[in-house]
Amino acid sequence: PEILQSIVFSKLGRMDSDVILGPEIGEDAAVIKIGDQVVIAATDPITGSVEDVGWLAVHVNANDIATFGVSPRWFLASIMLPSGSTPEQLSKIMHQIDAAAKELDIAVAGGHSEVTESITQPVVVGFMMGIAPVGEYVTSSGAKPGDSLIVTKTIGIEGTSILTTEGSSYFTGKLGDDIVRDGRELRNLISVVKDGVTAFRTGFINAMHDPTEGGLANGIHEICDASGVGCEIENNLIPMNDITRQVCEHLEINPLELISSGSMLICCGSENAPHVIEELAAVDIEAAVIGSFVPDSTHRKIIIDGSTHDLKRPTADALWSALKKINPS
């Protein structure tokens, strides 16, 4: 956060009063006022996946828009391919982008493609937009002391999917075919568009956030940073599927620090949490309260087996060390 504040946020061009929400710690997108509506705009690269890079580019950027309670509508992509790439590789990426966009009723409005010697694997940088009436959205900065923190689905979904896809041969030999097959299937849970839109429609949501880089732990810290609050998290309440557990235990990585697109962090008054969870369940989305927020912004704790510990802020996503273990070259 300190580097972003000192180097990035101090160099943002001219001031524009129509930029309602610009770059902020923990925020997933920008909010730009146009007449009586706002455009929600987000950008994210896909750098950790090769096999699903196009598909993930759409879904990960769509998720950022959904954290505002808004449906994503327009997508642009910058596709960069390493030297020696073939038309078939570009076709595969575009097929994935097209399929993912159609899943979410999104238009691919433009983009760019090039072959460059600067990279060794395909990289797709996505840019997504949605639109909403002024004031009809939430941000990551609205969490209040006493709010409950709800997590949808299970943590580590994207990271587990990437690892079992990119390391299919490794895991087949180490943990078996079932882990690889089921891990790959987790990609179908990566979208949180329905999670965000459904939760927002309850009218009870104070903040939402998408726990991507740095996983659940970093996502919680980012909400605390944005909202000026602290937190107390119950480790035994954090939902985790068996595939993620086995993969993380085998690779000796912390699942709380594994990229977690597929989960939505939802903040609401504790009295409203049961209703929000009920509405999510009505559209087949499991959710659970895993903790609450407190007034002291420096108090960020996790309770493990009855013992209270500091909630560690990750310095890097666990995905990167895991990828090195399954592919040392």
Q: Determine the residue type at 13.
A: G
Q: Classify domain 147-326 at the CATH class level.
A: alpha beta
- The whole-number pLDDT of residue 131 equals 99
Domains 2-133 and 147-326 share a fold: no
Helical H segments across 252-307, by residue range: 273-282
Beta strand 307-310 pairing with 265-269: unpaired
Sequence-separated (6 or more) residues with CB below 8 Å from residue 223 = 26, 140, 143, 149, 207, 209, 229, 231, 265, 267, 293
Biggest alpha carbon–alpha carbon distance for the chain: 58
pLDDT in tens, the chain (329 residues): 789 999 999 999 999 999 999 999 889 999 999 999 999 999 999 999 999 999 999 999 999 999 999 999 999 999 999 999 999 999 999 999 999 999 999 999 999 999 999 999 999 999 999 999 999 999 999 999 999 999 999 999 999 999 999 999 999 999 999 999 999 999 999 999 999 999 999 999 999 999 999 999 999 999 999 999 999 999 999 999 999 999 999 999 999 999 999 999 999 999 999 999 999 999 999 999 999 999 999 999 999 999 999 999 999 999 999 999 998 86
Dihedral sign of CA atoms 46, 51, 56, 57 in order: positive
**Beta sheet of 300-304, edge-to-edge order:** 205-209, 265-269, 147-152, 287-294, 230-234, 300-304, 307-310
Residues shown for the chain: 329
| Angle (CA) 269 219 255, round 5° | 115
Structure tokens at 253: 């990585």
* Residue 68 · residue 130 · CB < 8 Å: yes
- The whole-number pLDDT of residue 25 equals 87
**pTM, to two decimals:** 0.95
Q: 2-133: which CATH architecture?
A: 2-Layer Sandwich (3.30)
Identify how many contiguous H helices and E strands the chain contains and give both numbers. 11, 13
Structure tokens at 197: 């839109």
- The whole-number pLDDT of residue 1 equals 77
Distance CA 114, CA 303 (A): 48
DSSP state of 277: H
Where are the domains positioned within the chain? Answer: 2-133, 147-326
Distance CA 227, CA 11 (A): 23
Distance CA 194, CA 252 (A): 32
| Angle (CA) 188 194 197, round 5° | 160
| 242 HSE (CA, 13 A, CB side) | 5
Give which of 87, 86, 90, 62 is closest to 76, Cα–Cα.
62
- The whole-number pLDDT of residue 26 equals 87
Give which of 118, 129, 101 is closest to 47, Cα–Cα.
118
Phi first, then psi: give them for residue 76, nearest 5 degrees: -125, 150
